Amino acid sequence: MKIIVPTTLLLAVLFSHGATLPRLCSALVPYTLLHAADVHPHLKPAIDALNSTAMATWYTDRSDDLVADLMVKCKDGSIPAIVIYGLPNKDCGDGGFSQAGGNTHAAAYAAWIQTLATTVGPDRDVIYVLEPDAIGLVAAGGCGVRHGYLANLKRALGILTATNAKARVYADVAAWADVKPAIAALHDLQTAGRLAGIAINTANYMTTDALHTKCQEFSDQTGGLHCLIDTSRNYNALPGTQWCNPAGGGMGAPSTAETYNPLVDYHLWIKVPGDSDGECSGKPGAMPNGPSAGTFFPDAFKALWNQGFFVQEKKLPPLGPASDGTRLARASPSVAPAALSGGVDLWQQCGGKGFAGLTSCKPGSVCTYDHDYYSHCKPMKK
């Protein structure tokens, strides 16, 4: 029997969906953007326009831990979003640019996850995006299986959900993943803890409409799992071969719980626009001279802004050419933060290959290694 749902009732369900979920926290602006606004003043108007857009905070084993600061700043009833990216041997597929990290074995990974869960606390609304691309690499049957990704994902899910009953864990399913084996991996993962859903399109360029369709496909075969969709760079549809600093990308619509789809909990900026995908000059569609993964890439930010939602839909001014002649977000002696006040400010750059600015931080903070091209000042542990 065919059941017809009245249009008014359907619209009421769709439009009320966002009201049932906590508002996304936008209190912590990624420090790569804060620093880029100082070093590249021609980008500052666009960066300032993004300050109210909620972006996920990345918890990785190759950079500073910002979770404690995030928890302090998101105490207004909003829900923080944290990307967990620290599997031993992560990013093991072809073209992986983020393989380095401190977690070299399962015990170290479990302890690192427990540190995160303890910092967040036992009774706090929180979104976790669990290990970008990991399910896709498990589904591929190669290095993700060889390196035991699924066993570590199960450890992480168990710890996160046992520590906090309010934790919403979304296992990242790469947009390019082979669906059938990915679903099998998700079924296995669900035996380890309470899985809220899947994250799709992290750092990728599939359109929102296509992602809603993909969400339905996964949900139908996983017992109704919900979805979290990365809209940070998906304004323009790009072929799947163009995944690394593509010239045709555009910033997508801002983060929101108003997705008009009861299966899609949030549209969320998971990848920070302007953060490089890696040193991938020569790959299909890639912009030249891309820096190492996670380093701010001014040319990419400009392209994403000019070709994306804020310029094309909201009619904000496009960005013109650089006036400072810089490409990477590296300070020089003339623009080094707090150059005349006894040290580099909190969260600002203090080191890295090619860096020529101050390397000592202001009292109460210490210069902390992120990756070869970037170190920044973080609070000293008490």
Domain ranges within the chain, ordered by starting residue: 7-312, 330-382
Active-site choice (38, 64, 275, 277)? 277
Among the residue ranges 181-185, 232-236, 300-304, 333-337, the one predicted with the least confidence is 333-337
Mapped onto helix, strand or coil, the DSSP state of residue 268 is strand
Mapped onto helix, strand or coil, the DSSP state of residue 57 is strand
The predicted-structure confidence for 6-52, as pLDDT tens digits, reads as follows 333 344 344 445 558 999 999 999 989 999 999 999 999 999 999 99
Would you state the structure tokens that stand for residue 126, as one six-digit string? 């929180």
Q: How confident is the model at residue 280 (pLDDT cuts 50, 70, 90)?
A: confident
Would you state the structure tokens that stand for residue 286, as one six-digit string? 């890639």
Question: Which of 216-230, 273-287, 353-367 tops mean pLDDT?
Answer: 216-230
Burial of 3 (0-12, 13-18, 19+ CB in 10 A): exposed
Torsions phi, psi of 130, nearest 5?
Answer: -90, 105
Active-site choice (69, 133, 299, 345)? 133
In the predicted model, is pLDDT for residue 115 greater than 90? yes
Q: How far apart are CA 113 and CA 84, in angstroms?
A: 8
Report pTM: 0.82
Question: Rounded mean pLDDT of 131-151?
Answer: 95
Q: How far apart are CA 361 and CA 235, in angstroms?
A: 39
Q: Contact, 173 vs 200, CB < 8 A?
A: yes
Classify residue 179 as left (phi > 0), alpha (psi -120 to 50) or beta.
alpha
Bridge-based pairing of strands 374-379 and 349-351 is antiparallel
Question: Rounded mean pLDDT of 282-303?
Answer: 91
Would you state the structure tokens that stand for residue 31, as one six-digit string? 């420090």
Question: Rounded mean pLDDT of 109-131?
Answer: 97
Q: What is the pLDDT of residue 214?
A: 96
Measured at the CA of 283, the angle between CA 277 and CA 284, to 5 degrees, comes to 105
E strand spans, 148-263: 167-173, 197-200, 226-230
pLDDT-above-70 percentage for the chain: 83
CATH architecture of 7-312: Alpha-Beta Barrel (3.20)
The residue among 75, 109, 95, 202 whose CA lies nearest residue 143 is 95
Q: For the chain, give the mean pLDDT.
A: 86
Q: 372 an active-site residue?
A: no
Helix axes 149-163, 179-190, angle to 10 degrees: 40
Q: 133 an active-site residue?
A: yes
Active-site choice (69, 91, 172, 299)? 91
Place of tokens 């079924």: 187
Q: Which residues make Cβ contacts (< 8 Å) with residue 257, sequence separation at least 6? A: 17, 18, 19, 21, 22, 23, 24, 265, 266
Q: 65 an active-site residue?
A: no
10 Å Cβ neighbour count for 186? 24
At position 4, the amino acid (one-letter code) is I
